[in-house]
């Protein structure tokens, strides 16, 4: 039968092509995965590892699995050779089974790496972020400064950025030498736990300044988060302070008589009593003046 011969030749070519495509796609998938692992291991610092994992890891794992899904399709299309040689219907059936299994693999991979894996990744990212840094010039372990401590090491632009947008600066200090290392973390790359579905899939979508701050009034910023799993949209407005020091410096609270936005170098105080005594005092700074006021009695004026 002529037709059957043609079909057999076609099947042989088909099986060869499927074999090569299978080998090729497994190789490409493995290569992409290995390149990622290599880059991760070769990344010099914990911060470099953090950035790579944060930006690339999930994408890499998804792509490798999609390619593997294609490899599975090719693998299925080389099986049951004898049965398929009986007729075209078997061949078509095999193609559909191949598509079905490959789609299933891709879909499961999608679910795992989109919704389950980010929570695990987040834990590793936290570890990387808070691993004590080593000062390369001394080999000393550095210490991470707290939010309050770090302000004096950040310039005004950085502080404003931290206040307004979802950016975090970490300041590491070598306590022996005073050397510092500043690392920047961007909030929008970073997923939060969704308060509705519980997955680590809530991401910052946009930030918009609603009211610009002035020297005397606070502004307002709107942050919009979206969950890629359940679709929850969360909007949050927060204050945007123009003077970045205002809310952090305790000496500027409203009960403080020296409330000021400026650095004070000296204070001159002139005290007049009801019986006509007066005296001038000079202080080197706010703390000194406060200490004086706390202990002040009118009797002291007479000496
Ligand atoms: Zn959600």
Q: Under the phi-then-psi rule, with left for phi > 0, alpha for psi from -120 to 50, and beta for the rest, what region is 237?
A: beta
Distance 203 CA to ligand 1 centre (A): 10
DSSP state of 229: T
Q: What is the DSSP letter of 212?
A: -
* Cβ-contact 203, 226 below 8 angstroms: yes
Alpha carbon of 225 to ligand 1 centroid (Å): 10
Q: Contact, 238 vs 230, CB < 8 A?
A: no
pLDDT digits (tens), the chain, 303 positions: 577 889 999 999 999 999 999 999 999 999 999 999 999 999 989 999 999 999 999 999 999 999 999 999 999 999 998 888 888 899 999 999 999 999 999 999 999 998 899 989 989 999 999 999 999 888 999 999 988 888 888 888 888 777 767 788 999 999 999 899 999 998 766 778 888 888 888 888 888 888 888 778 888 888 889 888 889 999 988 887 654 444 444 443 334 445 545 566 677 777 766 666 777 777 777 777 777 777 776 666 655
Which residue, among 55, 97, 90, 46, has the nearest Cα to 74 in the 3D structure?
97
CA pair distance 182, 243, nearest whole angstrom: 22
Tell me, in angstroms, the distance from the centre of ligand 1 to residue 101's CA. Answer: 28
Residue ranges with CB less than 5 Å from ion ligand 1: 194, 196-197, 227, 229-230, 232
Write the CB contacts of 28 (distance below 8 Å, at least 6 apart in sequence): 67
**How far is ligand 1, taken at its centre, from the CA of residue 86, in Å?**
51
pTM exceeds 0.85: no
Per-domain residue ranges for the chain? Answer: 2-130, 143-186, 202-302
CA distance 102 to 69: 5
Q: What is the CA(154)–ligand 1 centre distance, in A?
A: 35
In sequence order, the 6+-apart residues with CB closer than 8 A to the CB of 156 are 244
Between the CA of 233 and the centroid of ligand 1 the distance, in Å, is 9
Q: How far is the CA of 111 from the centre of ligand 1 (A)?
A: 14
Q: Ligand 1 centroid vs 208 CA: distance in angstroms?
A: 22
């Amino acid at each position: 039968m002529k037709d059957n011969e043609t079909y057999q030749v076609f099947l042989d070519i088909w099986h060869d092509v499927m074999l090569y495509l299978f080998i090729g796609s497994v190789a490409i998938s493995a290569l992409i995965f290995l390149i990622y692992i290599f880059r991760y291991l070769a990344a010099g610092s914990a911060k470099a590892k953090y950035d790579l994992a944060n930006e690339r890891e999930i994408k890499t794992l998804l792509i490798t699995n999609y390619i593997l899904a294609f490899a599975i399709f090719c693998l299925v299309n080389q099986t049951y050779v004898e049965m398929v040689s009986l007729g075209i219907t078997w061949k078509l059936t095999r193609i559909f089974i191949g598509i079905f299994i490959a789609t299933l693999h891709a879909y499961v991979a999608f679910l795992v790496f989109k919704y389950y894996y980010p929570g695990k990744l987040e834990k590793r990212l936290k570890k990387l972020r808070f691993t004590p840094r080593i000062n390369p010039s001394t080999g000393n372990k550095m210490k991470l400064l707290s939010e309050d401590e770090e302000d004096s090491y950040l310039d005004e632009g950085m502080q404003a950025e931290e206040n307004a947008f979802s950016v975090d600066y970490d300041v590491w200090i070598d306590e022996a030498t005073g050397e510092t290392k500043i690392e920047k973390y961007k909030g929008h790359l970073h997923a939060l736990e969704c308060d509705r579905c519980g997955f680590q899939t809530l991401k910052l979508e946009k930030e918009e300044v609603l009211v610009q701050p002035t020297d005397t009034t606070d502004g307002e910023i709107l942050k919009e988060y979206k969950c890629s799993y359940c679709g929850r949209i969360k909007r949050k407005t927060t204050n945007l302070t123009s003077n970045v020091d205002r809310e952090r410096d305790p000496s500027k609270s409203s009960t403080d008589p020296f409330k000021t936005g400026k650095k004070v170098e000296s204070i001159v105080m002139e005290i007049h009593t009801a019986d006509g005594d007066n005296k001038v005092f000079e202080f080197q700074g706010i703390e000194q003046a406060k200490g004086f006021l706390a202990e002040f009695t009118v009797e002291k004026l007479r000496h």
